[in-house]
Amino acid sequence: MNREWWKEAVVYQIYPKSFQDADGDGMGDIRGIIQRLPYLQQLGVTVVWICPVYKSPMDDGGYDISDYYSVDPMFGSNEDLDELIVQADALGIKIIMDLVINHTSDEHEWFQQALKDPNSKYRDYYIFREGVDGQPPNNWRSYFGNSAWEKVENEDNMYYLHAFTKKQPDLNWENDEVREALYDMVNYWLDKGIGGFRIDAILNIKKRIETKQFEPDGEDGLAFIGHWILNQPGIEVWLKELNDRTFKPHNSMTVAEANVPDERLSEYIGNDGFFSMVFDFSYTDIDVPITGEWFKFSNWTLSDLKKHMYRHQLVSQEKGWGALYLENHDQPRSINKYVPEQDIHDYSKKMLATLFMMMQGTPFIYQGQEIGMTNTQMDSMDDYDDIATHDQYQRALLAGLSEDEAFAATNRRSRDNSRTPMQWDTSKNAGFSTSDKTWMKVNRNYDQINVASQQHEASVLHYYKQLIALRREGKYSETIVYGAFLPAETDREELFVYQRVLGDRKLLIVINFSNQDRSYPVDREFHNVVLSNYAEIGLNAQHELNLKPYASVILSND
């Protein structure tokens, strides 16, 4: 297996608006991240992924970019970002940024010129089509609901395509000039010294435009746009071009938001793949039906979870390299997703940490995950900022749910669950900001769950530090990073058991994903307990592990 710096990395994701407010305006900023660099170094992470800080009207949390080259004033300045890159590098931490090149903001200069002059070159920078019989070109539904086509004001029968919100017009990648402009921008940031990118919505760049009415798949009379714009034939030409012109010359770390079919995965993450790795959604979106409607239950089981996790591991190690994660800015908190409310405690949080951190691939820890932050509880829909949450609420009402049912459902799955301010201590606003009003409410449980209260060896935070240290240093590091993943068959769905093997060294990871005591027979070669989330763990005379509820154990053969 090829050794790469990004395979050995431990990544920490930051949602800038919610991490640390340095100037007291109620929103996090780049100087706040700089202030917290010592914390990140002590945690042990080697890469920090920062969600978009580019200039933006913030219709979709910064993923609607109006200027690729400028930091939005709410986050600071370009000079602040330069300083962050330099200071992080001095601590052995690389910065990777979000790359959003499927679309821009409708306030981007290119789009403004396209609207101003239909005959300008910028009209072909985006996807404009005439309507049909007084209606949009087709009945595609955008990812955030409603038509994917928006009528152009002051033009009789013209629409533009937006796979996301109407303020995020899709770029026309068929235009050579568009691609060249994007490559120049990517190289601008890489030349500044960032380590790479997390690449947003990249599988949408190739479109198969058809002007007709399709069979609706929902109560709104629309059809899901993904069938026509996700991973379409020919996209591989542009992805290779992007890699050859930007990422590869800089030895960048790239992780794509890309749900790729197994049979094509080697093209994307193989030795000469388009990206270093891609995120797998099969286990993180396990609670969402295939229709993407949060308010409906998928009725997933632990067997389903195990199947998806193991499949991802086996396919990734065969085809290339994987990215490990449980939560991010687009997900609710993982402990609420995977564990029943009554079983949420430090043992179950440490169990989840062990399960994902010991698998093969580069781990991504989302801010607050390392202290076990949980979902929040909003009082009304007015408390939510996320545009997708408001769309899901309306779709739930359209599907016949009552207002209370719709609110409860969206509350459970809202992306804002992970976007509440970071909980640093028990002071005002959890130490996130000195402002009288923060951009989003702080979770009410910050006085119980915070960084300051976890400066002891029994804490979730300390446990994450131990797991990170195991990956980065010591005699088990090579095995954890580069060792093969070998799943073990068990007769109980709640027992997740697998090995990591490199040469003669073997690690056995045993997880009890339940609130009941369980036992598991262990081969006698595994006699050394490396780490467990319980202080006391042992093998009985029959060499069986006695597993307490939500126990996790790492054993070695040496």
Per-residue pLDDT of 152-205, as tens digits, reads 999 999 999 999 999 999 999 999 999 999 999 999 999 999 999 999 999 999
Question: Residue 209 CB: number of other CB atoms within 10 A?
Answer: 12
Could you tell me the fold of the domain covering 484-556? Answer: Immunoglobulin-like (2.60.40)
Q: Which amino acid is at 105?
A: S
pTM of the entire predicted model:
0.95
> According to the model, what pLDDT value does residue 536 have?
87
- Put the strands of the sheet holding 128-130 in their side by side order: 128-130, 158-161, 149-151
Active-site residue, selected from the candidate residues 150, 257, 330, 386: 257
In whole angstroms, give the CA distance from residue 184 to residue 186.
Answer: 6
pLDDT of residue 392: 92
Topology of domain 109-161, CATH: Oligo-1,6-glucosidase; domain 2 (3.90.400)
Q: Coil, strand or helix: which one is 497?
A: strand
The CATH number of domain 11-100+176-206+233-460, selected from 3.40.1280.10, 3.90.1150.10, 3.40.50.300, 3.20.20.80: 3.20.20.80
543: number of Cβ within 10 Å: 12
200 as an active site residue: the answer is: yes
Return the closest-CA partner of residue 69 out of 177, 182, 184, 185.
Answer: 185
CB neighbours of 511 closer than 8 A, spacing ≥ 6?
A: 351, 354, 355, 495, 496, 497, 551, 552
Tens-digit pLDDT string for the chain (558 aa): 789 999 999 999 999 999 999 999 999 999 999 999 999 999 999 999 999 999 999 999 999 999 999 999 999 999 999 999 999 999 999 999 999 999 999 999 999 999 999 999 999 999 999 999 999 999 999 998 899 999 999 999 999 999 999 999 999 999 999 999 999 999 999 999 999 999 999 999 999 999 999 999 988 999 999 999 999 999 999 999 999 999 999 999 999 999 898 999 999 999 999 999 999 999 999 999 877 788 888 999 999 999 999 999 999 999 999 999 999 999 999 999 999 999 999 999 999 999 999 999 999 999 999 999 999 999 999 999 998 899 899 989 999 999 999 999 888 999 999 999 999 999 999 999 999 999 999 999 999 999 999 999 999 999 999 999 999 999 999 999 999 999 999 999 999 999 999 999 999 999 999 999 999 999 999 999 999 999 988 788 888 999 999 999 999 999
Q: What are phi and psi of 381, to 5 degrees?
A: -65, -25
3-state DSSP call for residue 556? strand
The domain ranges of the chain are: 11-100+176-206+233-460, 109-161, 484-556
**Range 145-148 contact pairs with CB under 8 angstroms and sequence separation of 24 or more:** 145/220, 145/391, 145/392, 145/394, 145/395, 146/220, 146/222, 146/391, 147/222, 148/225
Burial class (CB in 10 A: 0-12, 13-18, 19+), 146: middle
Nearest Cα to 409, choosing from 303, 510, 296, 544? 296
SS3 content of the chain, % helix, strand, coil (to 5): 35, 20, 50
* pLDDT at residue number 55: 98
> Minimal CA–CA distance to 66: which of 107, 120, 115?
107
Which of 78, 139, 72, 136 lies closest to 107, judged by CA?
Answer: 72
Q: Tell me the three state secondary structure of residue 348.
A: helix
> How high is the pLDDT of residue 519?
94
Q: Residue 421 in contact with residue 430, Cβ under 8 Å?
A: yes
Buried/exposed 214-244: b ≥16 CB within 10 Å, e otherwise: beeebebebbbbbebbbbeeebeebbeebbe
The conformational region for residue 361 under phi > 0 = left, psi -120 to 50 = alpha, else beta, is left
Catalytic (active site) residue 257: yes
Catalytic option among 29, 80, 170, 200: 200
DSSP secondary-structure letter at 272? T
